[in-house]
């Protein structure tokens, strides 16, 4: 089976220090109308995405979709096909879903089916993809490449996003670079001023004695003890600045906030918030707006490309009758759920005992015998007369 993935030559990735000038050059190169290339920008993405805060926000955004329930339904009846839904619950689909959601951050993505029997997909290296020209470079130094729109690849290739899309990271690189620079400056500040300054004065003039004294002072930072020559006085001067670290700390916190906003729609879902109500508003931004858009994008890709691909390889899926959709049910807390169920019971509806026991974690052993109210009335009357 001839695949584009097997024709790509692995190349060296630039992992040198990132700076603003490199980012701007990478954007200019990726957006060039004449000869666009994305390898510089994608290498920058790979270099910067190790930031802990960015990783947390990215995974939270992706999990809001990948952790959502879904079903394969019949288009005509709307009924769930459990067998086909279970097939999609396999590892292969969640790997595929992870690739699709990565496109939100890294831009236009080509996913190729390299093993139809085991449904193994591979992401074509984005640094080799030139979406604007419709080609994949075997080597990033090539002037020509493989036409990914060619007919021979249409049965195995899935395209996610617009060819010109560079992803969220195109805008976040500047923040990530500034944050890394702030952390490096903070580390230099700590190394320079974090330890107290140790000085010594001596009446010794011999170069050998002075050299020995210098070695003792150097060792003093580790052992906290020294034997000094006669006539030597030592001073330990702590850093006299006032909270200079806050310059770096405040900058990093501000950058974290700027990273959180475009990814999850706010800062209070993962960070400390001033109130519960505000954090819930930010959480709804993620659940009801951003992740809803992500789920819609995934549905388009699965229904428009993945299910037809499965059909071409003789899997039991038909794009004319089968539809992938995320669950649309509303979540209720246990009290709200019980109020609805109990109201249905009082209205005369019969509820399955097994479902009731499982849903509310109540062991049901059977029904109580109905009390004969007429007999109870007679017994009470006899009791009163006897008294």
Say whether pLDDT at 273 is over 80: no
Say whether pLDDT at 300 is over 60: yes
Contacts of 262 (CB under 8 A, 6+ apart): 168, 171, 172
Instruction: Supply the mean pLDDT for the chain.
Output: 83
pLDDT band at 377 (very low <50, low <70, confident <90, very high): low
**H or E stretch covering 159:** strand 157-160
Say whether pLDDT at 333 is over 70: no
Say whether pLDDT at 330 is over 50: yes
Q: 39-53, 101-115, 327-341, 364-378: which range is least confident on average?
A: 364-378
Per-residue pLDDT tens over the stretch 77-121: 989 999 999 999 999 999 999 999 999 999 999 999 999 999 999
The confidence score (pLDDT) of residue 380 equals 58
Q: Mean pLDDT, to the nearest integer, of 267-286?
A: 52
Q: Mean pLDDT, to the nearest integer, of 235-244?
A: 62
Q: Let me know if 376 is exposed, middle or buried by CB neighbors in 10 A (0-12, 13-18, 19+).
A: exposed
The confidence score (pLDDT) of residue 279 equals 46
Q: 81-95, 233-247, 301-315: which range is least confident on average?
A: 233-247
Distance CA 52, CA 268 (A): 17
Say whether pLDDT at 173 is over 90: yes
Within 10 angstroms of residue 9's Cβ, the number of other Cβ atoms is: 12
Tell me if the pTM is above 0.85. Answer: no
Helix and strand numbers (H, E) in the chain are 14, 10
pLDDT band at 282 (very low <50, low <70, confident <90, very high): very low
Q: What percent of the chain has pLDDT over 70?
A: 80
The confidence score (pLDDT) of residue 192 equals 72
pLDDT band at 373 (very low <50, low <70, confident <90, very high): low
Q: 119-128, 212-221, 358-367: which range is least confident on average?
A: 212-221
Using only the alpha carbons of the chain, give its radius of gyration. 33
Q: What does 233-290 look like in DSSP terms, one character per residue?
A: EEEEE----SSTHHHHHHHHHHHHHHHHHHHHSSSTTTS--S-HHHHHHHHHIIIIII
The confidence score (pLDDT) of residue 267 equals 65
More confident residue, 355 or 180: 180
Q: Mean pLDDT, to the nearest integer, of 364-368?
A: 73
């Amino acid at each position: 089976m001839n695949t584009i993935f097997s024709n790509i030559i692995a190349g060296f990735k630039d992992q040198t220090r990132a700076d603003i000038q490199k980012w701007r050059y990478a954007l200019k190169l990726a957006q060039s109308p004449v000869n666009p290339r994305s390898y510089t920008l994608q290498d920058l993405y790979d270099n910067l995405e190790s930031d802990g805060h960015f990783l947390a926000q990215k995974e939270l955004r992706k999990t809001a979709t990948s952790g959502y329930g879904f079903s394969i339904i019949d288009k005509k009846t709307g009924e769930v096909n459990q067998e086909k839904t279970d097939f999609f619950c396999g590892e292969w689909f969640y790997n595929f879903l992870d690739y699709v959601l990565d496109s939100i951050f890294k831009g236009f993505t080509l996913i190729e089916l390299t093993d139809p029997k085991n449904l193994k997909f591979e992401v074509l290296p984005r640094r080799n993809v030139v979406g604007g020209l419709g080609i994949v470079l075997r080597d990033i130094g090539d002037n020509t490449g493989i036409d990914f729109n060619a007919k021979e690849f249409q049965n195995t290739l899935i395209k996610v996003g617009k060819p010109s899309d560079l992803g969220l990271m195109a805008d976040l690189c500047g923040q990530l670079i500034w944050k890394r620079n702030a952390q490096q400056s903070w580390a230099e500040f700590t190394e320079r001023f974090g330890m107290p300054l140790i000085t010594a004065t001596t009446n010794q003039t011999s170069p050998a004695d002075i050299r020995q004294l210098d070695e003792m002072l150097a060792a003093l930072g580790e052992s906290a003890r020294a034997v000094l020559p006669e006539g030597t006085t030592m001073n330990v001067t702590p850093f006299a600045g006032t909270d200079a670290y806050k310059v770096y700390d405040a900058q990093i916190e501000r950058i974290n906030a700027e990273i959180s906003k475009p990814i999850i729609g706010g800062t209070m879902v993962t960070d400390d918030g001033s109130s519960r109500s505000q954090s819930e508003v930010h959480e709804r931004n993620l659940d009801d707006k951003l992740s809803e858009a992500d789920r819609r994008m995934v549905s388009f890709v699965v229904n428009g490309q993945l299910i037809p691909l499965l059909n071409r390889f003789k899997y039991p899926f038909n794009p004319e009758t089968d539809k992938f959709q995320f669950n649309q049910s509303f979540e209720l807390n246990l009290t709200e759920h019980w109020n609805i169920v109990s109201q249905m019971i009082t209205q005369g509806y019969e509820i399955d005992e097994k479902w009731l026991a499982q849903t509310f974690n109540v062991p049901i052993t059977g029904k109580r015998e109905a009390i004969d109210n007429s007999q109870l009335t007679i017994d009470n009357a006899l009791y009163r007369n006897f008294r």
